[in-house]
Structures are given as C-alpha cells and as structure tokens.
Amino acid sequence: MTRVGIIGVGHGVFGRRSDATVQELAFEAFRDALQDAGIDRDAVDASVVGSVPEYHKQRSLAGVIQEYLGLVPKPTWLTEVACASGSAAMRTAWMAIKSGTHDIVAVIGCQKMTELSTPEILALMGRVGEVQWESGFGTTFPGYYAMFAKRHMHEFGTTREQLLDVAVKNHHYGALNPYALFRKEITKEKASASEDVATPFQVYDCCANADGAACVILASEGRAREISKIPIWLDGMACATASMSVLRRPSLVGLPSAERAAGEAYAMAGIGPGDVKVADVHDCFTIAEIMAYEDLGFCKKGEGGPFVADRQTYIGGKVAVNVDGGLKAKGHPIGATGTSMTFEIVKQLRGEAGERQVPDADVGLTHNVGGIGQYCFVQVLKRD
C-alpha cells in the first residue's frame, strides 16, 4: 500500500489569543502550511478539523473553518476525542489517503479555550471521566492524574524531585520555542514554592489552557515525492482505548491504551523504541510524561523518574522528549495539541528546529492522550 507523507506544516503562537477568532487561528496555521508545502489551496482535496466543540459558541465548527479557509465546496469533517482530537484528525486524513479517496488532505487542529473561565473548563474536563460513577462525585482532571502520581510514588519510589525535573526540562526547551505560551526557564525552587493544586501536584506540575492552531498537510506517496524535497513519512499510525472509568482499570501506574498503541505503531513502522531519536509526548501533568517514558518502552516500568533525573530525555540523552516545551510550557489548546506535536517532529526530522535541533534525528514519535487515557494515538514518523 502507498505510504503517506507530510508535505507541509504550519503553527501559530499558543497563548491567550484575544486578537483572533478560532477561524483566524486556523487560517494562520493553514496559510503557513501551504507556504511550507509550496502549493496553493486549490491543490487540497479535503480537510479534517480536530477540535472539541464544547469550548466554542459555534456548533459544527468544521464548516465555518472550511469556509474561512476558502475550501468550500470540498469535503470537511470534525474529529473529537478530547485532548487527542488533533491526532484523531491526523489518523482520519491518513486513512482517507490510504484508501485512495483523496490525494492531499489538510489537517487543522484548533481550539479557542480562554473565552471560558477556569471553573468552566475544569467542569468540562471533569466530565471526561465517567459521569455516572466518577465525575459526579467531584473528580477533576488534576485529581485523576494526582491519583496516578500517588500510586506511582507508592509502587516505585518516584519522588517530587523527579516530577519537578520534568517541569524544569520542559520549561528549559519552551524558552527556546517561539510558539510557546511560557518562554521562561524555571528552577526547582520556584516550582516547589508554587501553590498546591491536587496532592502531590503544584502549579508547575500542570499544563495551562491556551488558544492556538497547527496544520499538517498530508499527501499520497506519489504526490508527496512530486511536491516535497524532504517528505516525512507517517509509517506507524496506531490508536487504542481504555475504560472510561479509571476505577475499572487494572493499574494506575500507566495507560494501557498507550502501551497498546505504541506496540502497534512500532510493529507497523518496523522499529522498536530504541530507534526513536525524538518524541513529543502528552505531558498534561508531570507524572504523565514519566508514565509515557515507560508506556512507550523508552525505559522499564518504574524507572521513569530516574530516567528524567539522569537527563536521558534531554538533547544528548537516550531519547529527546518534549524539546518544544511539551504541553507543560507550550500550552494545551486541546484540539491543536496533536497537530502541534506532529509539527515539531516534522521540523526535527527535516533538521529545521534551530537551537532545539536533535542531532541525526531520522525517526520521531508522537504520543497524544485523550481524556484520562481513554484514548491514545501514537505516530511514528521517518525521514528517508
């Protein structure tokens, strides 16, 4: 079957974007992706929008974005799987090209979150858990991941210091990323002095809501080779699910959806975790990145804390992880996060990441989690 290549990527600045509507955010990223690919919009056969509609006043968001981008009457549709909506859109476009239905598809991940108050956002995110048995009793997003952290600490001796190592690393690289919400380094002392959120988390353990968009243009193998000098190939595309209820899961020290998706993506791409040079993983909370190291096979179960403390996930370590700042420093406009991850890996594999460039990066990975691990999408990207 034909390979699917990435021929263009675009990214807007993440932050409190009071200067732009969600359509305008999408346009910024789409315009830059077209310029990057060297094509005009007439070449695009279809679009897929990744976004979570509850955050917007506009229903059926894909339609207004399609119109604003000047792509009517070509087909468009919306994908939604909570925080993994952008990667779900990527997979949907990949399948459309694999099937032969389309040759070139634009994927736009976008979200306008800061028009809602923090309590409203917390209420929405809390309902990602099972409404009947969990969220009705006051569970919050930080509360769920705090349970994971406490259990990981109990079983493996993971420490607060190791959680803070994740935050310090990601803010270090976020300070070098022009698209990031937070562009300042932090110290462990500053992080440990921040306000409590949900034990053991403090403010710097948690990612921030943001507005933003990123766009990725996919093409069939023949078209990708015609258009792009350096096509980046999506050779592993896998996703998996876990129970909506966290309490029905056999363990709270990892995400079974991530383990399964990673195994399938590695097998499809014909690689193992040791082949990955650079990865963008879903660090909505510091423990989430540590669990991702283990779920993806970068280190053994229970060794994620020492792995980051020993700087194995910095550039120059065993595998560079979240060297764009991750959700932690870059911000988390939930529909845009998956496409933003792909943007970063494409830039790394092309050798275009500037100060954050990982040497000899030829294989990269993204790991995008929806909800509290109910969904996980893993992509393996390669450069010829």
Q: In this predicted model, what pLDDT tens digit does every residue of 116-146 receive, in sequence order?
A: 787 887 777 777 788 888 888 888 899 999 9
Report pLDDT for 58. Answer: 83
Looking at the fold, whether 213 and 313 belong to one and the same domain comes out as no
Tell me, what CATH number does 371's domain have?
Answer: 3.40.47.10
The structural domain count of the chain equals 2
Asked if residue 155 is part of any domain, the answer here is no
Asked if residue 320 is part of any domain, the answer here is yes
- Domain end residue (candidates: 227, 255, 288): 227
3-state secondary structure string, 6-68? EEEEEECCCECCCCCCHHHHHHHHHHHHHHHHCCCHHHCCEEEEECCHHHCCCCCHHHHHHHH
Report pLDDT for 74. Answer: 98
Helix extents (H) in 106-220: 118-126, 141-156, 160-174, 188-192
From the candidates 56, 102, 171, 332, give the one annotated as an active-site residue. Answer: 332
Asked if residue 164 is part of any domain, the answer here is no
- CA distances to 49, 64, 164, 174, 304 from 291, in Å: 28, 38, 14, 21, 7
Range of the domain at 57: 4-116+209-227
Looking at the fold, whether 25 and 90 belong to one and the same domain comes out as yes
Looking at the fold, whether 354 and 270 belong to one and the same domain comes out as yes
Q: Report how far residue 153's alpha carbon sits from residue 161's, in angstroms, rounded to the nearest whole number.
A: 11
Asked if residue 141 is part of any domain, the answer here is no
Judged by DSSP in three states, 375 sits in strand
Q: Report how far residue 259's alpha carbon sits from residue 111's, in angstroms, rounded to the nearest whole number.
A: 27
Looking at the fold, whether 223 and 302 belong to one and the same domain comes out as no
Report pLDDT for 1. Answer: 60
Asked if residue 71 is part of any domain, the answer here is yes
- Domain end residue (candidates: 174, 199, 227): 227
207 assigned to active site: no
Asked if residue 157 is part of any domain, the answer here is no
From the candidates 11, 56, 83, 215, give the one annotated as an active-site residue. Answer: 83
Looking at the fold, whether 215 and 334 belong to one and the same domain comes out as no
Asked if residue 163 is part of any domain, the answer here is no
Written as six digits, the tokens of 187 are 């110290």
Looking at the fold, whether 378 and 259 belong to one and the same domain comes out as yes
pTM of full prediction above 0.95: yes
Read off the amino acid at residue 95: M
Residues of the chain falling short of pLDDT 70? 1
Closest CA to 347 of 248, 230, 206: 230
Looking at the fold, whether 87 and 12 belong to one and the same domain comes out as yes
The pLDDT mean for the chain works out to 96
- Domain end residue (candidates: 193, 227, 261): 227
Closest CA to 15 of 250, 180, 230, 175: 180
110 assigned to active site: no
Asked if residue 189 is part of any domain, the answer here is no
Looking at the fold, whether 213 and 328 belong to one and the same domain comes out as no
Backbone angles phi, psi at 141, to 5 degrees: -60, -50
Looking at the fold, whether 294 and 220 belong to one and the same domain comes out as no
Looking at the fold, whether 18 and 63 belong to one and the same domain comes out as yes
Looking at the fold, whether 219 and 300 belong to one and the same domain comes out as no
Looking at the fold, whether 348 and 244 belong to one and the same domain comes out as yes
Report pLDDT for 268. Answer: 98
